[in-house]
Amino acid sequence: MALAETQTTSSPCPMAASGPLPLVEVVREATGDNVFECYQCVKCTSGCPLADEFDLAPHQIMRSVQFNDIAVLKSRSIWLCASCYTCATRCPQKIDVTGVIDALRIEARKRGVKPAVPEIARFNELFMRSIKIFGRAYELGLMASFNMALGRPFRDLKLGIRMFAKGKLSILPHFGKGRTKAVKLPYNPKAIGYYPGCSLSSSAIEYGKSVKNIAGALDLELIEPRDWTCCGSSAAHATDPKAANVLPMSTVATIEQMGLDTVTSPCSACYSRLKHAEQSVTNKEKVRREVSNELGYAYKGSVKVRHLMDIIVDRVGLDEVRKRVTNPLKGLKLACYYGCLITRPSRVTGAENPEYPQKMDRLVKTLGAETVDWSRKTECCGGSLAINKTEITVKMMRRIMDDAKACGAEAIVTMCPICHLNLDSRQSGMGYSEAEEIPIFQATQLMSLAFGQGAYKAALGNNLTNPKPYLQEKGILS
């Protein structure tokens, strides 16, 4: 979009005398950021994995907001954004560019602007409706209702059959009733609040099973709150900023009332939402009041939100992990794929190396395997776009897979249910023959194998791409 074509105000800074707020004020109210601090360095665009699909590049979105160009509300880009936070991480001015895009999506709906990518908007609506009805995301029902909304009821039927056969789709929903009275627990140094997230009992069941098995081996007691509800994932922060804070804080507040000082999640999306919400409540008075009023509880700020990887590497420690290795994973050559949200944005996660992390690599090496150096270990796989814009994410995933293979990886290891499912389920769609497909492991599955727990407890039978022939070839399985 040429600037000459934009609709601008004579002065973008002052509040409008009447009518909608200028976009710069919409963004300031939503994020606290001043978009005039953007000086068009283009780092957000150069790092964006979806820039080649956008009609407006991220830096052009920022410029549009500065000029109060309301045409940005009709852009495809604000809907295609996968919320990977690369832009926010790389911005030298520390502007939450991802938050800016969220604010524009929400503002577009307020002003009655039709979504430029209606299927994404519809998916978000259905996701939030699923949470409202069941308390948690009902994946099978969500997929069915979304396909019906598209008028393509048998879309991805083959994948659905494969997932059902592997135990990765629950026929019946799991319910979360919301906040129930929390009981304070006696002090237990081994106890950690545990938030599994919706997918670990269905599409990421191999992750859920292996997490519980390795936790027992590491002498960790994972305390799962009763009746927890969905964190809202990306659908909440794309549509309802209040829900984006209230839903995850319901769990964090319950953990605090139970007397636990830490909550961990193995799901990167859940971890990200819990972490963002906890920081918003801690640092923003308006959000704190809003959440407190909704929950009927004033959060005191005593709970640390940590990803499961950090619990294993930092709290348990690699020396303790090494002591439990009875079946070293020698001969495995793996690419550690972190995805977007374990480390980004670093000002929220506190990650020391958000662009090229090493924690999972160190963990995998402790298990006896070899890891490869490669370029795309934190590149976005597309997240939920794999459901509503599959053709785009297949290209994104193909780049990731090609780079891992080119660097010598024979398999990929993740610690994210979405990354795992996307890479594990779409290899044929990426153009690979069956012989070219490679195993995709959860790190906890590899830990289970290295701890001598065997293929069953490692839940290898739930993987879509069968990893057993590779492990047998390397002598890890008999």
Give the ranges where 178-317 is alpha helix by DSSP (H). Answer: 205-217, 233-239, 241-257, 268-283, 285-295, 308-310
Average pLDDT, the chain: 94
Three-state SS string over 204-240 comes to CHHHHHHHHHHHHHCCCEEECCCCCCCCCHHHHHHHC
Q: How many domains does the chain have?
A: 4
Q: Is residue 183 part of a domain?
A: no
Percent of the chain with pLDDT over 70: 96
Phi-psi category of 54—alpha, beta or left, where left has phi over 0 and alpha has psi -120 to 50? beta
Do both 146 and 91 map to the same domain? no
CA distance 23 to 329: 54
Q: Which of 96, 111, 112 is nearest to 61 (CA)?
A: 96
Q: Is residue 190 packed enough to be buried (19+ CB in 10 Å), middle (13-18) or exposed (0-12)?
A: exposed
> Would you state the pLDDT for residue 7?
37
- What number is the average pLDDT over the span 391-404? 97
Do both 197 and 129 map to the same domain? no
Q: Is residue 318 part of a domain?
A: no
> Would you state the pLDDT for residue 165?
97
- What number is the average pLDDT over the span 326-345? 97
Do both 106 and 122 map to the same domain? no
> Would you state the pLDDT for residue 11?
40
Do both 286 and 333 map to the same domain? no
- What number is the average pLDDT over the span 274-296? 96
What does the longest C-alpha to C-alpha distance in the chain come to?
A: 75
CA distance 199 to 69: 39
Q: How far is CA 313 from CA 154, 192, 329, in A?
A: 43, 15, 18
> Would you state the pLDDT for residue 263?
98
> Would you state the pLDDT for residue 15?
44
Comparing 305 with 182, the larger pLDDT belongs to: 305
Is pLDDT above 60 for 4? no
> Would you state the pLDDT for residue 127?
97
Please, which pLDDT band fits residue 13 given cuts at 50, 70 and 90? very low
Please, which pLDDT band fits residue 177 given cuts at 50, 70 and 90? confident
Q: Is residue 176 part of a domain?
A: no
Q: Is residue 137 part of a domain?
A: yes
Do both 82 and 127 map to the same domain? no
Sequence-ordered strand ranges (E) for 101-174: none
Do both 327 and 465 map to the same domain? yes
Q: Which residues contact 161 (CB under 8 A, 6 or more apart)?
A: none
Is pLDDT above 70 for 451? yes
> Would you state the pLDDT for residue 18?
63
Q: Give residue 259's identity as a one-letter amino acid code.
A: G
Q: Is residue 437 part of a domain?
A: yes
Please, which pLDDT band fits residue 336 given cuts at 50, 70 and 90? very high
CA distance 281 to 300: 10
Q: Is residue 171 part of a domain?
A: no
Residue-wise pLDDT for 33-54, tens only, equals 999 999 999 999 999 999 999 9
Do both 52 and 32 map to the same domain? yes
Is pLDDT above 90 for 178? no
Angle 31-260-339 (CA atoms, 0-180°, nearest 5)? 50
Please, which pLDDT band fits residue 14 given cuts at 50, 70 and 90? very low
Do both 97 and 149 map to the same domain? no
> Would you state the pLDDT for residue 182?
87
Is pLDDT above 70 for 238? yes
Q: Is residue 387 part of a domain?
A: yes
Do both 368 and 443 map to the same domain? yes
Please, which pLDDT band fits residue 180 given cuts at 50, 70 and 90? low
> Would you state the pLDDT for residue 9?
38
CA distance 146 to 62: 32
Is beta strand 370-371 parallel, antiparallel or unpaired with respect to 333-337?
parallel
Q: Is residue 288 part of a domain?
A: yes
Residue 362 is classified by DSSP as: H
SS3 421: helix
